[in-house]
Amino acid sequence: MLKKKDRYNMAVVGATGAVGNEMISVLEERRFPIKTLRLFASERSEGVRLTYLDKDVFVEKLGEDSFKGLDIALFSAGAERSAVWAPVAAQSGCVVVDNSSQWRMDPKVPLVVPEVNPQDLKWQTGIIANPNCSTIQMVVVLKPIHDAARIKRVVVSTYQAVSGTGRKAMDELLDQTRDILSFKDPSSKVYPYQIAFNVLPHIDKFLENGYTKEEMKMVHETRKIMGDSSIRVTATTVRVPVFRGHSESVNIETEKKLSADEARAVLSVAPGVIVYDAPEKNIYPLPLYATGKNETFVGRIREDESIENGLNLWLVSDNLRKGAALNAVQIAEKLIEMAS
């Protein structure tokens, strides 16, 4: 467990990537109580200069002694690197908040969204998993509904921005758009097909059951975070030509009847959620307006007329913030709050 201090020695691993950059920005914005900040990335980024609170911080490469004297490390370096370096950090006495998929379903590692299951931080032993971006924004909305009416089944279709794949995917969308508008043939390197002016029903690898890894992540992670393995979840995840901000169409079946107005009332006081729902005035969540915001926006709240106890919702959140960097920083803040 983290020891109580006035300020903490902090690290960001994978600091030069899109999520790593966002982690630094969020730490800065929230005035996280940092004594020293160290930034790590791959060897090719060693010596790169980044800025934190108007001061230059130079990127270092990872080594066996990198985590000595550090209190908390936010990891955004991918599953393979996390598998190697997260245990090294934990053994050095540094608490790791890992954004990769490496530890999420490990029964010994808590998978945490602070608005949903902060109590799971009590049994962490040095590594804490940050959930998948599409799962995070969904469970902050599901939790208050589950508490009010108990969710039996969730059907979700996602519309995920290219930033979820990384900086190269964002560049590819921009380059393809320019090429098409200049009457040139676009090239595809990041995705198997052109993403500009297109949608791809394919995120991560396909599995033997016909689902993708991304879809099954949403199934398994939702149950673990919610602490209820009886919730039935099915997902279809789609990549869309949006730079930033994931959208989701969510259909929920509950045990107890919950009207649309009752759902709005429940969600209007839920932490991390903003109800943005007046379709008669064309008011509903959009990735364009969610970008740079910390909350998950929910609208198009309506009863599913095909079943007795059903709701339809439309959710949008900034996947680089709440879906990754912000959630990791919030976990670190909660660790400090619980420190003794």
| Helices 133-149/213-226 angle, 10° precision | 40
Contact call for residues 14 and 79 (beta carbons, < 8 A):
no
CA distance 91 to 85: 10
Residue 1: is its pLDDT beyond 80?
A: no
The string of pLDDT tens digits covering residues 242-283 is: 999 999 999 999 999 999 999 999 999 999 999 999 999 999
Tell me if residue 146 is catalytic.
no
**94, 146, 202, 246: which one is catalytic?**
246
Tell me if residue 246 is catalytic.
yes
CA distance 129 to 294: 19
Q: Output the pLDDT for position 108.
A: 97
Give the pair of three-digit tokens for residue 329.
Answer: 């920083």
Give the pair of three-digit tokens for residue 53.
Answer: 């609170």
Question: C-alpha 270: how far from its chain's center?
Answer: 18
| Spatial CB neighbours of 241, under 8 Å, sequence gap ≥ 6 | 162, 173, 177, 195, 196, 197, 198, 199
Enumerate the CATH 3.30.360.10 domain ranges in the chain, comma separated: 135-319
Q: Output the pLDDT for position 328.
A: 98
Enumerate the CATH 3.40.50.720 domain ranges in the chain, comma separated: 8-131+324-338
- The CATH code of domain 135-319 reads 3.30.360.10
- What does the DSSP 8-state code read for residue 122? G
**94, 133, 146, 220: which one is catalytic?**
133
The string of pLDDT tens digits covering residues 41-66 is: 988 889 999 999 999 999 999 999 99
Give the pair of three-digit tokens for residue 84.
Answer: 């190697």
The string of pLDDT tens digits covering residues 79-117 is: 999 999 999 999 999 999 999 999 999 999 999 999 999
Residue 30: is its pLDDT beyond 90?
A: yes
- The CATH code of domain 8-131+324-338 reads 3.40.50.720
Contact call for residues 274 and 297 (beta carbons, < 8 A):
yes
Give the pair of three-digit tokens for residue 49.
Answer: 């200069």
CA distance 63 to 88: 9
